[in-house]
Amino acid sequence: MANLIKESARGIEVVRIEDELLLSREIFFVDGVDKESSNELLKQLMYLERQDNTKEIKIYINSPGGEVMSGLAVYDFISLMKAPVTTVCIGTAASMGAILFLAGQKRQMLPHTRLMIHDPSFARAEFGGRKPHEIQHELDKLNETRESLARIISEKTGKTLEEVYEVTADDTYYSAEEAIEFGLATEIIK
């Protein structure tokens, strides 16, 4: 982890860059989405919301995606926040990383960044020895998740569910310009 050396009334101090950025209301999310990374992000958001719920928070995202439920917990919390949240894609926001990107009221991308959206998939599911109705139950849950994610994309982009399902059937990558055109992003930072 990178540190800063700062001089203060107490002398020379070593400060983590992440802590300094948090004081400026900037958060970096550059991990896969899982319980640990999502909980860390939620704690930072809760802290900033309590400090001042009128000032903007920026979340810089470069994430390959990950666990849907962990990501949706963060998405839902951001949706409930009073503080305005801007998300900035600084590499590739893929899968659940793209859904987190969509949580921002303003959604900015650097010129050479990418977004990737797709349907959810089974995570390490074992179907050997399972009965057909058990497999069908898992498939039903997966389709419910697919619909939830498609609704988020539809609401944020203004596209119909059918249009969203068409592009999420496969891994679909968007350049910054294509993301603006589809409605995933609101601005390219130049």
CATH of domain 23-188: 3.90.226.10
Model confidence pLDDT, tens digit, residues 123-169: 766 777 778 898 888 889 999 999 999 999 999 999 999 999 999 99
Model confidence pLDDT, tens digit, residues 69-116: 999 999 999 999 999 999 999 999 999 999 999 999 999 999 999 999
Domain spans, the chain: 23-188
Q: What does the block give as tokens for 57?
A: 């928070």
**Residues known to be catalytic:** 95, 118
Quote the CA–CA distance of 180 and 185 in Å, as a whole number: 5
The confidence score (pLDDT) of residue 1 equals 63
The confidence score (pLDDT) of residue 138 equals 84
CB atoms closer than 10 angstroms to residue 126? 7
Model confidence pLDDT, tens digit, residues 27-37: 999 999 999 99
**pLDDT of residue 49 exceeding 70:** yes
